[in-house]
């Protein structure tokens, strides 16, 4: 192979603008598959991407500022200007895209995964999807619970069994290549996910998330609790006027009454997390505690007028809703008992645990008439339990198989948190789904790893180009949707013209 010519390119790095002179070689052997095709120096890949104007160190800095410091694009742009780099704000977005793509390829590298997982004797798969809103694509992630490594991340148009089976088969093939067996799967209870796991991984224990199970099974109970809380709050309105009447007073008695008002408002605005946090029961208990404290004061001295008004508000609410709480308390006692059994703090074997859970279900059925109008909630609990039953107890038989899918939910939360801190969006943006296969991975990895330019150097340029092409295809789909929203008639006219032109004889 002989040198064919010299090539020159300019690369902007953190140290300044560098002009590279490259020796390009060409093979002169006519029998060679690369005959007369240019071969560029391997060292060039450590400086920048093909046709890239900025070095990999600039790309790494942009990603670090975004995902470790949660800076916005304008803030990153200003940081680069302060460092003496001449760069447009739009170019910062482009370099962030390159960071996400290169880091995703680095994390998915077969050699790296083999080195990372070689100490493990098994893989525990967690599968879940993220959809910012109805009608958008769904980002599906398959992650190893033991190492935290994302094995596959893909945006799909649907969430059917037909969509998910190829993802599971891809992970199964990857684990076969790495020679690490899949010992368990953890997902939520969505029927299409269950069918896909049964189809692609038929002999693998499949655990269904206990949190999703209890939330679905206890939904009517939580709804009844929420309704009772709403009714109670209706009768405890009027705390603000009492506080306003105390605004000009600074004596000790006024401060104490104001403290009681703040306690009531704190109780009214404290929302828990179903299925185990009963907001209504918590509010009732706290108002009873506050009312009891006021009663103890009344036994010792005459109450201030403002405190008497506050006591009457609470008593009116508690009296008006007193018939709602016994059934809710009993139902939640069963839900908490179910959660306690599933936690298996006593380390019972699976058969004993199933027997105890069946006894709880029998007790609920026998005593459901005591719940009155809430009795159908027990029937719903039994129905959901029957649906989940086969997947509730696998976690007690496989080491390291978690009982909930909360780790993967928190992994999604990391990406949403980074997006919210940097953009101000409260909800996941559609871009998170369009680029989710690389963005979620980059956000999670950047939080715990220190990424350098060497880590971003692509080992396979063709793979990076294919990944970028796939992402650009999804970006174009989003752009075309926006064009339709802005000018539906022009958009439809262009489609009609395209189809009519394609139907003409060539």
CB 210 within 8 A of CB 342: yes
- For the residues of 112-150, what is the DSSP string, one character each? HHHHHHTT-S-EEEEEEEE-SSTTS-EEEEEEETTT--E
How many angstroms from the chain centroid is the CA of residue 26? 50
* pLDDT value of residue 423: 77
* pLDDT value of residue 135: 62
Q: Which residues fall within 8 angstroms of residue 279, CB to CB, at 6 or more apart?
A: 225, 226, 229, 270, 271, 272
Per 3-state DSSP, the chain is made up of helix, strand and coil in percentages (nearest 5) of: 60, 10, 25
Q: Give the pair of three-digit tokens for residue 149.
A: 């490594």
* pLDDT value of residue 486: 93
Pick the closest to residue 450 from 46, 92, 60, 54 (CA basis).
60
* pLDDT value of residue 133: 62
CA dist 96 and 59 (Å) reads 7
Kind plus residue range of the DSSP H or E element containing 351 = helix 350-367
Place of tokens 């090539």: 7
- Report angle CA 328, 332, 335 to the nearest 5 degrees: 150
* pLDDT value of residue 323: 93
For 22, 285, 353, the CA distances from 360, given in Å and listed in that order, are: 75, 26, 11
How many angstroms from the chain centroid is the CA of residue 484? 30
Give φ, ψ of 373 to 5 degrees. Answer: -65, -15
Helix orientation angle between 461-486 and 488-502, rounded to the nearest 10 degrees: 120
Q: What is the CA radius of gyration of the chain?
A: 31
- For the residues of 62-84, what is the DSSP string, one character each? HHHHHHTS---HHHHHHHHHHTT
Q: Give the pair of three-digit tokens for residue 348.
A: 């019972």
CA dist 60 and 52 (Å) reads 14
* pLDDT value of residue 275: 76
* pLDDT value of residue 119: 81
CB 63 within 8 A of CB 446: yes
CA dist 3 and 299 (Å) reads 101
Per-residue pLDDT of the chain (506 residues; tens, 9 = 90+): 677 778 888 999 999 999 988 888 888 888 888 777 888 888 888 889 988 899 999 999 999 999 988 899 999 999 999 999 999 999 999 999 999 999 999 998 888 888 888 888 899 999 998 876 656 788 899 999 998 889 998 888 888 999 999 999 999 999 998 889 999 999 999 999 999 999 999 989 999 999 999 999 999 999 999 999 999 999 898 899 998 988 888 889 999 999 999 999 999 988 877 778 899 999 999 999 999 999 999 999 999 999 999 999 999 999 999 999 999 999 999 999 999 999 998 889 999 999 999 999 999 999 999 999 999 999 999 999 999 999 999 999 998 999 999 998 888 888 777 778 777 777 667 677 788 889 888 888 888 888 999 999 998 899 999 999 999 988 888 889 889 999 999 999 999 988 888 766 75
CA dist 364 and 428 (Å) reads 40
What burial letters (b/e) apply to 166-186, b meaning 16+ CB within 10 Å? ebbeebbebbeebebebbbbb
Pick the closest to residue 116 from 65, 150, 153, 75 (CA basis).
150
């Amino acid at each position: 192979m002989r040198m064919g010519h010299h090539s020159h390119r300019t690369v902007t790095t953190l140290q300044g603008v560098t002009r590279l002179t490259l020796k390009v070689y060409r093979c002169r052997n006519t029998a060679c598959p690369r005959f007369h095709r240019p071969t560029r120096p391997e060292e060039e890949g450590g400086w920048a991407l093909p046709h890239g104007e900025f070095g990999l160190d600039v790309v790494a800095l942009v990603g670090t500022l975004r995902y470790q410091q949660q800076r916005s694009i304008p803030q990153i742009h200003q940081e680069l200007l302060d460092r003496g780099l001449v760069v447009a704000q739009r170019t910062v977005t482009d370099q962030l895209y390159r960071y996400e793509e290169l880091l995703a390829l680095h994390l998915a590298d077969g050699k790296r995964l083999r080195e990372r997982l070689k100490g493990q004797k098994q893989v525990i798969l967690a599968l879940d999807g993220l959809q910012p809103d109805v009608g958008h694509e769904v980002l599906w992630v398959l992650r190893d619970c033991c190492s935290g490594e994302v094995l596959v991340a893909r945006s799909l148009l649907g969430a059917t069994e037909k969509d998910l089976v190829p993802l599971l088969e891809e992970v199964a093939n990857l684990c076969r290549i790495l020679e690490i067996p899949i010992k368990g799967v953890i997902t939520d209870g969505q029927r299409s996910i269950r069918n896909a796991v049964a189809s692609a991984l038929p002999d693998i224990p499949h655990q269904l998330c206990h949190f999703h199970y209890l939330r679905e099974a206890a939904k009517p109970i939580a709804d009844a609790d929420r309704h009772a809380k709403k009714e109670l709050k209706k009768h405890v309105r009027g705390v603000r006027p009492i506080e306003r009447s105390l605004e000009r007073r600074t004596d000790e008695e006024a401060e104490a009454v104001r403290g009681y008002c703040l306690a009531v408002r704190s109780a009214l605005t404290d929302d828990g997390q179903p299925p185990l946090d009963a907001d209504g029961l918590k509010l009732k208990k706290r108002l009873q505690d506050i009312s009891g404290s006021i009663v103890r004061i009344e036994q010792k001295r005459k109450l201030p007028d403002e405190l008497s008004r506050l006591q009457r508000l609470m008593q009116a609410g508690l009296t008006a809703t007193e018939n709602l709480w016994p059934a809710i308390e009993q139902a939640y006692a069963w839900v908490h008992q179910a959660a306690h059994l599933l936690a298996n703090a006593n380390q019972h074997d699976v058969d004993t645990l199933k027997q105890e859970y069946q006894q709880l279900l029998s007790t609920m059925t026998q005593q459901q008439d005591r719940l009155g109008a809430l009795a159908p909630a027990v029937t719903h609990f039994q129905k959901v339990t029957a649906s989940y039953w086969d997947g509730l107890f696998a976690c007690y038989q496989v080491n390291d198989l978690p009982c909930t899918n909360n780790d993967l939910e928190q992994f999604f939360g990391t990406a949403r948190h980074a997006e919210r801190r940097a953009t101000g969006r409260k909800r996941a943006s559609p871009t998170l789904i369009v680029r989710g296969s690389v963005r979620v991975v980059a956000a999670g990895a950047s939080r715990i790893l220190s990424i350098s330019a060497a880590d971003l150097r692509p080992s396979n340029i063709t793979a990076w180009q294919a990944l970028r092409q796939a992402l650009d295809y999804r970006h174009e789909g989003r752009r075309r949707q926006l064009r339709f929203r802005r000018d539906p008639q022009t958009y439809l006219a262009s489609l009609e013209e395209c189809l009519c032109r394609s139907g003409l004889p060539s």
